Structure 1
């Protein structure tokens, strides 16, 4: 059986994040990627200059079209933009029984907002309880909990468990916004830390799309039948390779993308 993963997210016209990054990562890991576009952004490596939310009836039609025909084994959810879109996605996947990776996309690498302030509560109430794994960075976790960003591993564990208490089955607390020469990611469930992933912090500005890439890579692993821990391990290793090879690319004048196909071709 061909492993199939579905990404429900926004489009990045610059090609480094969003739907484009998701499909690249899934393909690089040997998984067929289907897509539902929730928003179209005018975006490059420097800024997001426009955002257009897709009408909810079109989002619903995309979800119905994919799930009624393709045997999707895992879903990744990224940029949702508004409360109405969140509700439409929740209705569309209501009968889906497979794993769901929820990436609570809020801010682009450029600093531009991708989730309306009034949508945060909706995301927390409607979709977070559906998540097999939630993949927030430190500011996103803090925003969901209405607190300050974690600064220590102990605080990361505390916030991860608090997010599980809100309904997520597990939380991957991403340490990319932390300090120090080593980046720590913690996979946490209600009982505490399930796995820890460490990597040296790379001295590069080309990290556009890292969150999208990691979450879609986890979905790819789950679509292949891996356990959550194994899928997160595979995704972490793949992303670290993509970041370490990002400077081989010369894309744009701002925060360039990671090298999704670093295992396939080099410049």
Structure 2
């Protein structure tokens, strides 16, 4: 990309972020230009935008329609993706079989909670290039949920390995990689450091054993504690709401008959602060009413 093209790509990333809201909005990837598609996948990869799309998946025997919701890096430039795994999870009979996926060009997008916060910060604290650099440099772990719609039919052909096609995704991923590389290169030749976006106030490591929550760092035991935080975090990013502890139990420890969050987090400093009760048996992540100075708190397990 030339310097002008880098500036155009940065502006499209910033503009697309400002155009999104917390409500689902339709996007026809076959009608928008390549730069917009690349910007959309970059915002999704940074966890700022969530995508909802439909497609058709099949093994070597059966084909089915599905709907998926995805955020983070759920697919990379080589089309390696967690989507086939989630399709197999939704169709247990497909376990151990290769899955082909054909995506529809029409999808929906909305801001995650992190995206809403970043959008507010970008409105006053950063130019388009700084935002684009932040997006390119801060990919987050991908998440996909799949719901089978139906419309079963014989498979269109053999599936030797997992593959994803359609929806203009191949070109979008190639353009995304080009934008990432050239925006990062523009910093190296730009003559000095640029201002940074304000730090994101809620973040976590890959396995949710370390969380920075509005100025306070918490650690969680690997296993039930970290998986519970992951479940609550996923719901918080999607809706800003919480989950019933039995829903969490089904996700993280379905064999346990008496699953209670006050037991899981007994004597943990995050319980009652970051993790708060939201009704009978319901819990949610709760940002503080006022920001606190950074402190490091260790769990007691």
The alignment's TM-score, normalised by the length of structure 2, stands at 0.25
**Structure (1 or 2) with the larger CA radius of gyration:** 2
